[in-house]
A and B are shown apart, each in its own frame.
Chain A
Amino acid sequence: MTSNIKESRKSIITARIVDHHEVVKNHFLMTLKVPIDFQTAVPGQFVMIRVKGREDPFLHRPFSINLLTSHGTETFMGILYKVIGKGTTIFSRLKKDEELYVMGPLGNGFDMPPNRKKIAIVAGGIGVAPLSFLAEYLNRQASFSEEGIEEIVCYLGAPTSQLLLDRKRLEHACSKLMISTDDGSEGYHGTVAKLFQNHIDSYAENDSIIFCCGPYPMMTGVAEIMKKYSIPCQVSIEERMACGIGACLGCAVRVKSHGSRPHYMTVCKDGPVFDINDVSWRQV
């Protein structure tokens, strides 16, 4: 038997930078013009990016999709990122009209189970990147349906007031925006996990859902809180990646298994969104 599938093949596309600026210190928003089929991307999905014409960095870098907009027939994708290492440092120096290779959209997005009236979005630092896209997506859903989503509350945390990201978009998309800063410069003085914990009694297993993304200590904190509750909670995880499509097995995340053998899933193909209770947080 020979397979003669003639479906259109996926490929790496070339995308032009239409805007690129530093939103707050060390955090950049890069907007790319992308093909129209990116409009099918859902919040939580990611793209793999490389600079066209450069062999260094060698590997693509994964980024959550932060924004998708269309003007007329044109589609634009926003990537919000923090400068951390070599790859992001090189990206941060790119100018308007430079071109990138983009693979995607990849991975599985956030999943909205039925009958969720109350939504909590818990975002820490640059972890807000996929969640602003999600908040706007859910806000549109809420306005289109008679019953369904009644309230979206975003708990947004950062080390200090100046580093609170995407707050205008979140204020607009959410029913309420609650702020926390590690240094107490604005809102709740403490971690966003603790701020969320103070409000957890407003959520119930049968009608609520939590979406979370942030640095590992913050997500581990949220995971610890969620242990005592049965409210569904989904988390977006980050890991170093090579292929982005489940072949290299580089981006392994340890998940809970019932046997004695450790069990790993790939962030790129099985995730990047996981049920918070499935992840083995102590091993991360």
Chain B
Amino acid sequence: MKNKNVPGMNVDVGGIELKNPVMTASGTFGYGEEYSPYIDLNRLGAFIVKGLSCGPRSGNSPPRIIETAAGMLNAVGLQNIGVDAFIQEKLPYLNGFDVTVIANIFGETIDEYISVAKKLGDVPGIAGLEINISCPNVKKGGIAFGDDPDTAYEVTRQVKSVTDLPIIVKLTPNVTDITRVARVVEEAGADALSLINTLKGMAVNVETKKPYLKNITGGLSGPAIKPVALRMVWEVTRAVSIPVIGVGGIMNAHDALEFLIVGATAIQIGTANFINPRATMDVLEGIQHYMIENDIADIHDLIGTLTVD
């Protein structure tokens, strides 16, 4: 007889307790209110807020998105209302729910990261910070913090030193060896890692001979990047001892299970939210269903169970 009890789904991601491993990916779920008509936010493992910077940012000129094969490119340009407006206008709404809120932060200088981290450390209702190190570093000629292990180390160490909140560092896949940055960031004090951010790409309109995006290049997301994300998560889980959150093209429970099996402690749903506003719930229910069907009483009995002959 199958075990019909509700399986144990709670996980600990670097000191952040989650009721289940299904999180929303930053920038794909707004500030929560956009999706609350479609799903019960209380059921999410965690809600990751759209990337916050020191001050408000306008974002890039349109066109900002273009569909590509099994995915999309975006160059939104980190448009956001800024950390102060978030705390005043959006956080009270999210705190009305019983959901773990993680704030994604970024800056163009290390000082900006520190300033945003400090502000969020002072308010109740934030369970942790996710540091986006894919942002261009203006002091290093626009090279992303995450492209250079030294800067990735420095931004992680300095943010860690100004906050008691657990720190998740979100890694960029646009590097030769992601395990190198992963190890360095772990050394700098990161409590967990999330990967991958979008893959840099472009698309051209052959009629006009112009790029489809005003920004020329953009970040590729969606099922097209899932095999790359899965491979990187597998590599990184073997290279570090801190928890890894799998992100990249997860559209359904099957995709999410693959990430858990290769070793991800939790997963994030991003672009799938655009296709199906209920994607997070469908994934959560699908994982539960799989666990019941396979007599897996606790999610930890599933995580990292990849068998290699």
- Pick from A56, A103, A264 the residue with the most CB of B within 10 Å: A264
- Tell me the bound Cα distance from A95 to B43 in angstroms: 39
Assess whether A217 is interfacial by the CB under 8 Å rule. no
Within the complex, the shortest CB–CB distance from A270 to chain B, in Å, comes to 12
Assess whether A50 is interfacial by the CB under 8 Å rule. yes
Assess whether A35 is interfacial by the CB under 8 Å rule. no
Report yes or no: B273 in contact with A243, Cβ–Cβ below 8 A: yes
Assess whether B142 is interfacial by the CB under 8 Å rule. no
Given A9-B39, A10-B38, A59-B72: A248 touches B65 (CB 8 Å cut-off): yes
Given A1-B95, A60-B275: A10 touches B74 (CB 8 Å cut-off): no
- Chosen A-B contacts, 25 in total, with CB atoms closer than 8 Å, are A1-B96, A2-B97, A3-B41, A9-B39, A57-B67, A58-B70, A58-B223, A58-B275, A59-B275, A240-B63, A240-B65, A240-B66, A242-B271, A244-B274, A246-B34, A247-B35, A249-B76, A249-B79, A251-B64, A252-B61, A252-B64, A253-B62, A264-B58, A264-B62, A269-B34
Report yes or no: A247 in contact with B62, Cβ–Cβ below 8 A: no
- Pick from A5, A55, A241 the residue with the most CB of B within 10 Å: A5
Report yes or no: B65 in contact with A242, Cβ–Cβ below 8 A: yes
- Tell me the bound Cα distance from A262 to B214 in angstroms: 15
Assess whether A142 is interfacial by the CB under 8 Å rule. no
Residues of chain A within 8 A of B71, CB atoms compared: 58
Given A58-B222, A252-B64: A9 touches B37 (CB 8 Å cut-off): yes
- Pick from A240, A253, A261 the residue with the most CB of B within 10 Å: A240
Which residues of chain B from 15 to 31 have a CB within 8 Å of any chain A CB?
A: 27-30
Report yes or no: A59 in contact with B67, Cβ–Cβ below 8 A: yes
Per-residue contact bits, chain A 179-203, to B (CB 8 Å; 1 contact, 0 not):
0000000000000000000000000
Residues of chain B within 8 A of A247, CB atoms compared: 28-30, 34-35, 273-274
Residue from B42, B62, B97, B223 within 8 A of A252 (CB atoms): B62
Report yes or no: A248 in contact with B28, Cβ–Cβ below 8 A: yes
Assess whether B301 is interfacial by the CB under 8 Å rule. no
Assess whether A245 is interfacial by the CB under 8 Å rule. yes
Residues of chain A within 8 A of B41, CB atoms compared: 3
- Tell me the bound Cα distance from A246 to B38 in angstroms: 13
- Tell me the bound Cα distance from A55 to B60 in angstroms: 28
Residues of chain B within 8 A of A1, CB atoms compared: 95-96
Residue from B30, B70, B72 within 8 A of A242 (CB atoms): B72
Report yes or no: A283 in contact with B61, Cβ–Cβ below 8 A: yes
Contact residues on A (Cβ < 8 Å of other chain), bracket: 35 or more
Assess whether B231 is interfacial by the CB under 8 Å rule. no
Known: A1-B96, A242-B65. 8 other contacts (CB 8 A): A3-B41, A12-B276, A12-B277, A57-B67, A247-B30, A252-B79, A254-B62, A262-B58
Which residues of chain A from 1 to 40 have a CB within 8 Å of any chain B CB?
A: 1-3, 5, 9-12
Residue of B nearest to A262 (CB): B58
Assess whether B278 is interfacial by the CB under 8 Å rule. yes
- Tell me the bound Cα distance from A271 to B56 in angstroms: 21
- Tell me the bound Cα distance from A10 to B79 in angstroms: 27
Residues of chain A within 8 A of B61, CB atoms compared: 252, 254, 262, 283
Residue of A nearest to B71 (CB): A58
Report yes or no: B76 in contact with A250, Cβ–Cβ below 8 A: yes
- Tell me the bound Cα distance from A242 to B272 in angstroms: 10
Report yes or no: B79 in contact with A2, Cβ–Cβ below 8 A: no
- Tell me the bound Cα distance from A248 to B142 in angstroms: 24
Report yes or no: A252 in contact with B59, Cβ–Cβ below 8 A: yes
Assess whether B98 is interfacial by the CB under 8 Å rule. yes
Assess whether A96 is interfacial by the CB under 8 Å rule. no
- Tell me the bound Cα distance from A245 to B276 in angstroms: 11
- Tell me the bound Cα distance from A243 to B275 in angstroms: 7
Residues of chain B within 8 A of A12, CB atoms compared: 276-278
Residues of chain A within 8 A of B65, CB atoms compared: 240-242, 248, 250-251
Report yes or no: B74 in contact with A248, Cβ–Cβ below 8 A: yes
Within the complex, the shortest CB–CB distance from A150 to chain B, in Å, comes to 39
Per-residue contact bits, chain B 271-300, to A (CB 8 Å; 1 contact, 0 not):
101111110000000000000000000000
Assess whether A169 is interfacial by the CB under 8 Å rule. no
Residues of chain A within 8 A of B274, CB atoms compared: 59-60, 242-244, 247-248
